[in-house]
Structure 1
């Protein structure tokens, strides 16, 4: 995940909801939250929403072209098999 700003925001939110007794440890816990979040998120194979949307569009276009090609092949096969019967 390249957008570490979101990790920073999440770490701040987590530290903000700490019980009053732990507020003195806020900075230390926020650093720990940040480290844990980064370590775990980097292990996952995540992509940005923008990248996901682009790939979804590419897939949709590819599927559309594949269907058109399949229809074209079926039509050509029908012509070949239909033409072969006339000659026999």
Structure 2
């Protein structure tokens, strides 16, 4: 869901800001930082850009169909009012 490159970049920034003794603990710290970041991001109530774009297209098609149905309904109502 989230861009792995961005997570890697954030993890690197966190690693660079750590005090040297913590950095000296090795790759375990890097791995834990990535896991924590990924875990917290997964808890967020968000959707991927791809899912957002798909839903936007669905909404646009639905809006178009609704507009067409409204126009048809207005036409039918107009014809009915002319018959009276």
Query: How far has the Cα of 1:66 moved from its partner?
Result: 0.8
2:33 maps to what in 1? 33
Structure 2: runs of 5 or more not aligned: none
CA contact (8 A) 2:11 2:33 kept: yes
Could you say what secondary structure the match of 1:55 adopts?
A: helix
Structure number with bigger Rg: 1
1:62 maps to what in 2? 62
Query: How far has the Cα of 1:65 moved from its partner?
Result: 1.7
1:52 maps to what in 2? 52
Counterpart CA distance in 2 for 1:63 and 1:26 is 54
TM-score w.r.t. the length of structure 1 is 0.67
Could you say what secondary structure the match of 1:46 adopts?
A: coil
TM-score w.r.t. the length of structure 2 is 0.69
Q: How many residues align structurally?
A: 84
Deviations 1:36-82 (A, max 9, x none): 21222222343321221122122112112211211211111121122
